[in-house]
Structure 1
């Protein structure tokens, strides 16, 4: 059953919580995705089979949560995730961050490291608003974004494309994690497809090089794309959660 949580900022967040043993598992989805995606549902089924506590939720402006997507920013979605983890879970948690959710997970690691028992990144995309979006825009796109406040970029996942707002880019600059020390005092596993054209393997390698983590491993999966949702890939996610759980 889907429930709702009102965050300290007044946003209504839809979530689904599975009771079980700890450490709990929290799934953090990607940009314009929702908690009904293949990886989130697979992990819930896995948690139910193995008796693990599990939480999946929709950021504001995503899925069943309140708000418009174009009103949101990395900071808003981080605040949503922080409220979900601190309010809806008990004890140490394993964060499973997919794409943008990987960035959100790293932001959580900076503020509540004592609540995090481990982190699994699935093609994590830290700082993508700056290093992928803004850096990849043409001069005309940058000019239109600054003048109009919003542009649309093509996407393999949406025929209408993705809306990108000026606020998303500018607010994202205050949330970058690859420009300052990034201590991760818990086991980290990064799963990355070599055929990922949205978040290339170089991002995972940059994160590995930058993070201060005593136990960090990157697994490159030949031929896997950004969805990372084949049966073999899904099994790898569950195995990684088991591994960082101790």
Structure 2
């Protein structure tokens, strides 16, 4: 496996911002293939770029000559910033900065959980900037995409006690089956409102393949079925894994992910 290069990209610190620039850590390996197809990984909430799914994809990309870029949002992994300062706006800004500054040529974007929502937001922003006919996004692979999660999977599911705690302290600690409680801030919830897709149709201009576990206790599988209907203008595939959980990180799940990306990348 060809070693990736760990680098830092500073994001933010514009004249109208009071905060310091955020140091975003990333690994990047350029494509060595004639078609230039590369992968861009977008991780989930409280995940980092050293997880099993992204590492197996990075390894596959190294062996096939595909480029691969993976990074940590601010407050995640080894990037700078506090997790509780994070918002969808900031993490989207960082994703776009990595995409625009560190990738070239056609990209297959893989988004996991929250990264699936951010991937769709990234595509929308990219298309708005360059036009759908000039998009560099060759395809999307979404793993249990947590679209509109700050509303549908957080605020709308909070009980009165949780909402009262957030109103009084600006923070709610949500228990998690995957480790420490999730620190959900009022700023995250409020900022998320401006990024909600709601019931709107979503146009990506590229093929989309969704992988979703039926036994996912974080993102209901029905939400991925609903998402398919809202991607009505695109070529969309949905694979439901009957015994799959939210992580989809078993050996058979990872093999499915690699096969899916391989088809999307045209390898």
TM-score by length of 1: 0.96
How many Å separate the matches in 2 of 1:44 and 1:214? Answer: 27
| Aligned residue number for residue 237 of structure 2 | 217
Q: Is 2:53 aligned against 1:33?
A: no
Query: Do the aligned partners of 1:124 and 1:204 also contact (CA within 8 Å) in 2?
Result: yes
Q: Which segment is superposed worse, 166-175 or 8-17?
A: 8-17
| Aligned residue number for residue 24 of structure 2 | 13
Unaligned runs of 5+ in 2: 14-20, 128-134
Deviation at 1:232, TM superposition (A): 1.3
Match among 187, 194, 197 for residue 214 of structure 2: 194
Query: Do the aligned partners of 2:139 and 2:265 also contact (CA within 8 Å) in 1?
Result: yes
TM-score by length of 2: 0.89
How many Å separate the matches in 2 of 1:214 and 1:7? Answer: 32
Deviation at 1:222, TM superposition (A): 1.2
What aligned pairs does 1:14-163 form with structure 2 within 5 A after superposition?
A: 14-20=25-31, 21=33, 22-113=36-127, 114-158=135-179, 160-163=180-183
How many Å separate the matches in 1 of 2:37 and 2:199? Answer: 30
Deviation at 1:129, TM superposition (A): 0.9
How many Å separate the matches in 2 of 1:146 and 1:181? Answer: 32
How many Å separate the matches in 2 of 1:219 and 1:115? Answer: 25
Q: Is 2:23 aligned against 1:2?
A: no
Unaligned runs of 5+ in 1: none
Deviation at 1:115, TM superposition (A): 2.1
**1:140-161 Cα deviation digits (max 9, x unpaired):** 1112112210010100111x31
Deviation at 1:212, TM superposition (A): 3.3
Deviation at 1:80, TM superposition (A): 0.6
SS in 1 for 2:194: coil
* RMSD, aligned α-carbons: 1.2
What aligned pairs does 1:225-244 form with structure 2 within 5 A after superposition?
A: 225-244=245-264
Query: Do the aligned partners of 1:60 and 1:68 also contact (CA within 8 Å) in 2?
Result: yes
How many Å separate the matches in 2 of 1:154 and 1:141? Answer: 11
SS in 2 for 1:134: helix
How many Å separate the matches in 2 of 1:140 and 1:238? Answer: 42
Deviation at 1:99, TM superposition (A): 0.3
| Aligned residue number for residue 171 of structure 1 | 191
Q: Which segment is superposed worse, 215-224 or 171-180?
A: 171-180
How many Å separate the matches in 1 of 2:139 and 2:231? Answer: 14
Query: Do the aligned partners of 2:203 and 2:234 also contact (CA within 8 Å) in 1?
Result: no
SS in 1 for 2:57: helix
Deviation at 1:182, TM superposition (A): 1.2
